[in-house]
Structure 1
Amino acid sequence: MDHGQIDTTTADAWAALGGAPALAAKVMYAPSAGVLPARLPVRELARATVGVCSLAAAELDARRSGHPAAGLAELRVAEAAVATAFVSERQLRIEERRPVSFAPLSGFWRAADGWVRTHANYPHHRARLLATLGIPARGTPEEQVERLRAELAARPAHEAQETAYAAGALAVALAEPGATAMPLDALPLVESRPVPGPGPDAGPRPLPAAALPAEGVRVLDLTRVIAGPVATRTLAVLGADVLRIDAPRLPEDPDAHADTGFGKRSARLDLGDPADRRTFDALLARADVVVSGYRPGALDGLGLAADTLTERHPGLIVAELCAWGWSGPWTGRRGFDSLVQVATGIAALEAGPDGRPGVLPAQALDHGTGYLIAAAVLRALTARQDTGAGRRLRFSLAGTASWLMHGVTPAPEGGPEYDPAPWLAETESPYGALRYARSPLVRPGGGGFNWSRPPGRWGADTPRWR
């Protein structure tokens, strides 16, 4: 990109975040050939989400320092760094071991009249999938794969999908572009609504100038599985105090936490236990930001609906993430990036010459949404400096999918051949020696960010703010 030329996709994403249009010209890209190859414009989506996140961090930093954002220097994002970060879970090495991204029962399967994709990475999802299809849980993984293959081959794809959904399992029938049950045209990229606050004098204390854009910001992380953890990992690299809270009964994959736990602390609390609930409420009372990745309505029964949180805690910024959008027939369903690709028509668009459904070159819906969430939180913090008001933010993987399919503008490719090596680093951790992808965010005028600490053991920290 030439100096001063505005990238259309970056400008669109920045506008969706409510940013001043002129600032989008601050974001430039260092190209690399062969980055995130796909039929859909994945490279353009990926670099734009990192670009606007870098810009939002720079804007907040300028506001905290008392400098006008219009005076920011250029932010030059490396496409190679973006591509490496968008596959951070694949680049991760733990004592030189490569983690497994998908379990044997997760993947594409031929149905009687099409294709189905299943997701069974977690033990409880695997158990539900086998049970709902009448497959015994005994036997070797290879035997279970063959039983699942045979069972799905005998069922129509839509029947398999609905049977799995009714039992809390995860299977989605392949949709052709234009024939999806998803109301893609109605899914926004970002939903943002200010929450009336007590005013700048009575609200949260304005953030002072600091070495890092989000230093001193307390983030309560209620997320799992890539998109939300990427958002909070990104806020952590910018200096936020990120504390992840999980229920003790929902164990995390250690490899997943080794990827997305950088810069954070992690604790377990049972919100049904009175003592743990008091601890959680005390954390909430001092939080600046809550990021939630649960299905719509899942936390309402615990008194943690977004409207309830912002009413009780003026100035609080609440960012919510779901798979399928906040309205429509699939709103309450469980979902993951790989399944959203199937239901929206992306997998059909990326099909191979043999007709087998394809995949994007990264979990781009997850990672892209994660950077957008972080950007929106940073912009809300900037606005709160003046108003003291909180904000409600909502995102969905399906909304990001719709943007990729219908709103991202292809851009010419160029530059040297992509090499991930310069964008990888190593560190010791409680999990052992890690090789990991560096953060792709950049500072105005050059330079980047690195996490203050490696990932700790999941759930092993004391639930308190620093």
Structure 2
Amino acid sequence: MENDQVTQAASQHLREFWTALGGAPALAATCGFGGTGELVSAFRVTDLAAAAIGAAATAAAELLQASTGHLPAVHVDRRMASLWFGASLHPLGWTMPPLWDAIAGNYRARDRWIRLHTNAPHHRQAALSVLDCAADQESVRQAVAGWDADTLEAAIVARGGCAAVMYSREEWAAHPQGKAVAAEPLLHVATGARVSTRAWEPSRDRPLRGIRVLDLTRILAGPVATRFLAGLGAEVLRIDPYGWEEPNTVPEVVLGKRCARLNLKDPADLDTLRRLMGHADILVHGYRSDALAKLGLDAAQRRELNPALIDVSLDAYGWSGAWQCRRGFDSLIQMSTGIAEAGMRVMGSAAPVNLPVQAIDHATGYLMAAAALRGLTLRMTRGVGIEVRASLARTAAVLQLRTEPMREVSGFAAETPVDRCAHVEPTSWGPAARLLPPVQIEGAPLAWRYPARALGAYEPEWLPSNELL
């Protein structure tokens, strides 16, 4: 595919994203794309990556234009965008834990394929308790083979676990939850009434300096969103429960953040969360859609607590239908929505073929970051709060299947030290190199104040105002 055609494909995605965000159409045309090669896949993953990052950067440029009258140029490197959708962190002298648990993966049931997601200990235990087998791949394979896939999926989900039957795109379109997701917009956007807001304007070089972001997210879309906001200068405070760990993703996604812990079942800690929320500018949360409501913090209560809040939330399987509260992750969404089945057919494989990176998570994360930035623009110019809801299943629907033969798809050049920042990042786990940013915003380069630190490394409190400057 020629470079102008590649640019056209990414630009098409960007226009779709920008329309969903409610942005002025002309702004989407100002984002430029460059770089050669792409991720080898049955789907246009690199176009999705470049466009999603472009949407977030365009929203940052719009925020600066609203304050200064000047629209900064935005340019996305498609190759670097592809790399960031994989891994941006490279340990120096130490090793990251494996991305997947030993028994996570795709298995053949009696009638069709199913994927088990077992990275969290309680999800692993849920699957093993249903299968009643040893915790190794061969034992799991034999146990799964004795089940019908739908029955096994339902049993694991009922135990609080995570599994997904592989459907074709046609089967998903006919499925009740597929129909529900198809009827939803790419992003649910609701603007609140005009309220009093604190005086704030973006800094030219650090657009989000002075902005407080409360991060209630876990693997992987939400943390990607708040990482981008931190790169623009926001103070991001991530809250996790005691005992929760994500050893295979945390070093990648906590760049630029302060991470603290609270026990939200404890009334005092819940009060702390309410105070933090009351003084936040942006809330990004990825709990299941009913989780905060059970804590007395549904959307209406959050708005009452903080009328000017920019409230951005994520759900896996959409915001309507019987599965709206179902646990889900990128790899499961790929199975349910037909992506893995289409990959299997196009690539001529005998087993499901997942995307080369967790592109649904990453793309949704950048869309959430873009929504938060557009929310700031609306709050600054119109004095309103905003609520935005995204879902992995709805983002998956925009991913385009290739039309040209796979032999025409050329990969990009392998990563080299030239692609990495010159300074060494002193993470909690050891020194590391971080990739150069995938996007350039004129006059406002992405830069992170804090290196990646372990969960719970900080206290659950906002920095004093003088430290935000």
CA–CA distance in 2 between the matches of 1:459 and 1:258? 13
1:57 partnered with 2:60: yes
Tell me if the contact between 2:41 and 2:343 (Cα under 8 Å) persists in the aligned partners.
yes
2:31 to 27, 30, 34: 27
1:362 to 357, 367, 381: 357
Which residue is 1:190 aligned to? Answer: 187
State how 1:68-217 maps to structure 2 within 5 Å: 68=70, 72-88=71-87, 92-93=90-91, 95-136=93-134, 144-180=136-172, 181=175, 182-183=178-179, 184-198=181-195, 202-217=196-211
Letter aligned with residue 218 of structure 1: R
Which residue is 2:307 aligned to? Answer: 314
CA–CA distance in 2 between the matches of 1:431 and 1:39? 36
Shift of the 94–282 alpha-carbon distance from structure 1 to 2, 3 Å rule, reads farther
Q: Please state whether the residue corresponding to 2:331 is helix, strand or coil.
A: helix
State how 1:273-284 maps to structure 2 within 5 Å: 273-284=266-277
The normalised TM-score by structure 2 is: 0.90
| Unpaired runs of at least 5, structure 1 | none
State how 1:308-387 maps to structure 2 within 5 Å: 308-351=301-344, 352-387=347-382
Tell me if the contact between 1:267 and 1:460 (Cα under 8 Å) persists in the aligned partners.
yes
Cα deviation for residue 332 of structure 1 reads: 1.4
CA–CA distance in 1 between the matches of 2:204 and 2:72? 18
Cα deviation for residue 208 of structure 1 reads: 4.8
Cα deviation for residue 122 of structure 1 reads: 1.3
Cα deviation for residue 261 of structure 1 reads: 0.5
1:424 partnered with 2:417: no
Cα deviation for residue 419 of structure 1 reads: 3.5
Percentage of pairs with the same residue: 38
Cα deviation for residue 61 of structure 1 reads: 2.0
Cα deviation for residue 308 of structure 1 reads: 1.4
Shift of the 151–255 alpha-carbon distance from structure 1 to 2, 3 Å rule, reads closer
Cα deviation for residue 404 of structure 1 reads: 1.1
Question: Over residues 437-460 of structure 1, what are the superposed CA-to-partner deviations in whole Å (9 max), with x where a residue is unaligned?
Answer: 333232137x73221121112112
Paired residues, number = 447
Cα deviation for residue 405 of structure 1 reads: 4.4
Shift of the 106–255 alpha-carbon distance from structure 1 to 2, 3 Å rule, reads closer
Tell me if the contact between 2:188 and 2:389 (Cα under 8 Å) persists in the aligned partners.
yes
1:228 partnered with 2:227: no
Q: Please state whether the residue corresponding to 1:377 is helix, strand or coil.
A: helix
Q: Please state whether the residue corresponding to 1:461 is helix, strand or coil.
A: coil
Shift of the 208–323 alpha-carbon distance from structure 1 to 2, 3 Å rule, reads closer
Letter aligned with residue 56 of structure 1: A
Shift of the 85–281 alpha-carbon distance from structure 1 to 2, 3 Å rule, reads same
Deviates more, 1:124-133 or 1:371-380: 124-133
Shift of the 353–414 alpha-carbon distance from structure 1 to 2, 3 Å rule, reads closer
Which residue is 2:247 aligned to? Answer: 254
Tell me if the contact between 1:203 and 1:315 (Cα under 8 Å) persists in the aligned partners.
yes
Cα deviation for residue 307 of structure 1 reads: 2.1
| Unpaired runs of at least 5, structure 2 | 464-469
CA RMSD of aligned residues (A): 2.4
Tell me if the contact between 2:48 and 2:363 (Cα under 8 Å) persists in the aligned partners.
yes
CA–CA distance in 2 between the matches of 1:456 and 1:52? 28
CA–CA distance in 1 between the matches of 2:92 and 2:316? 29
State how 1:289-308 maps to structure 2 within 5 Å: 289-308=282-301
Q: Please state whether the residue corresponding to 1:254 is helix, strand or coil.
A: coil
Cα deviation for residue 63 of structure 1 reads: 2.2
State how 1:392-411 maps to structure 2 within 5 Å: 392-405=387-400
